[in-house]
Structure 1
Amino acid sequence: MISSKTIKLFLRLAISAGFLSAVADRFGMWSEEVSVWGDWNSFLGYTQLINPWFPETFTPTIGALATAAEIIFAVCLIIGFKTELFAKLSGWLLLLFALSMTFSTGMKGALDFSVYSASAGAFALSLMKEKYLEVDKLISKAKT
């Protein structure tokens, strides 16, 4: 039987891996055979596609903010820093991505890339309070 601690760790690592894989793709770190974007400019083109309600001049800022958020959220989830907070923020970010994809290109892409599932997993993670292999546990012990 899988323990709730193991499930929590798996959620933290899986959500983080998804974020970091997407970031690696937009910086050309995946091979052409598996890449979705392959480079920053292609990623920005996709960012504009799923955010047509924003002026095109905002696209680089939106792309940079999304990328920074994904890196920060991933690192915080991996090390277990403010896990509940960063899990909740991850859930909202993923839900925003899913809704942007759905309203701009249709439901299929968001479903195929499991963005709604990842969002739900992040929200579920935010409800798991028991600390396991987390910096937060070390910080709370140091305070007492």
Structure 2
Amino acid sequence: MKNADTYPQLVLRLALGIGFLLPVCDRLGILGAPGEKNVNWGNWENFANYTNLILPVVSPAVANFLGAIVSILEVVFGFCLILGFKTRLMALGSALLTLIFGILMAIFLGIYAPFGYPVFVFTGGGILLSCVEKFKWSLDDLAT
């Protein structure tokens, strides 16, 4: 990709990073209470219930644990992508996470579910970002 080490990679890093952090803020109630405008969950309980919908083959305790692990990964991916730290690894990890999430949504909620949100766009964006050779305006760039 010509010029991929300039503005496009920065915009993609920021969009993906913020896109991972905002849902975690939502499920922690930071963006507002359940039912408020632009709030999907509004609290951890609503998110845990959703997690159980896309993981019906495991116990609620396991689904809730996995939801917590995914939330931690989303925070790590979000901050690392924004800062440009271990960008290729974070981009691939985020692509894998969203691919798994999208497949689970399609299987247990129906094929439209992952396409109602940009789940596979995140997957593609992560894969695309992992192909960039140089991450200008990043901690990775400062380290070289």
Q: Is the TM-score greater than 0.5? A: yes
SS in 1 for 2:98: helix
Does the CA-based 8 Å contact 2:10-2:135 persist in structure 1? no
Q: Which runs of 5+ in 1 are unaligned?
A: none
- Letter of the aligned partner of 2:55 in structure 1? N
- Tell me what 1:79 maps to: 83
- Tell me what 2:97 maps to: 93
Q: Distance in 2 between matches of 1:114 and 1:63?
A: 19
- Tell me what 1:44 maps to: 48
Q: Distance in 2 between matches of 1:114 and 1:136?
A: 27
Q: Distance in 1 between matches of 2:94 and 2:66?
A: 16
Q: CA deviation at 1:26?
A: 0.1
SS in 2 for 1:41: helix
Structure with the bigger percentage of helix: 1
**Aligned alpha-carbon RMSD (Å):** 1.3
TM-score in terms of structure 2 length: 0.92
Q: CA deviation at 1:131?
A: 2.2
Query: 1:131 and 2:135 equivalent?
Result: yes
TM-score in terms of structure 1 length: 0.92
Q: 40, 48, 70: which is aligned to 1:66?
A: 70
The share of aligned pairs that are identical, in percent, is: 34
Q: CA deviation at 1:88?
A: 0.3
The count of aligned residue pairs is: 139
Q: Distance in 2 between matches of 1:107 and 1:131?
A: 35
- Tell me what 2:22 maps to: 21
Query: 1:111 and 2:112 equivalent?
Result: no
Q: Distance in 2 between matches of 1:114 and 1:80?
A: 22
Q: Distance in 2 between matches of 1:38 and 1:109?
A: 20
Q: CA deviation at 1:60?
A: 2.1
Of the structure 1 ranges 2-11 and 86-95, higher mean CA displacement relative to structure 2 is found in 2-11
Q: Which runs of 5+ in 2 are unaligned?
A: none
Q: Distance in 2 between matches of 1:40 and 1:100?
A: 20
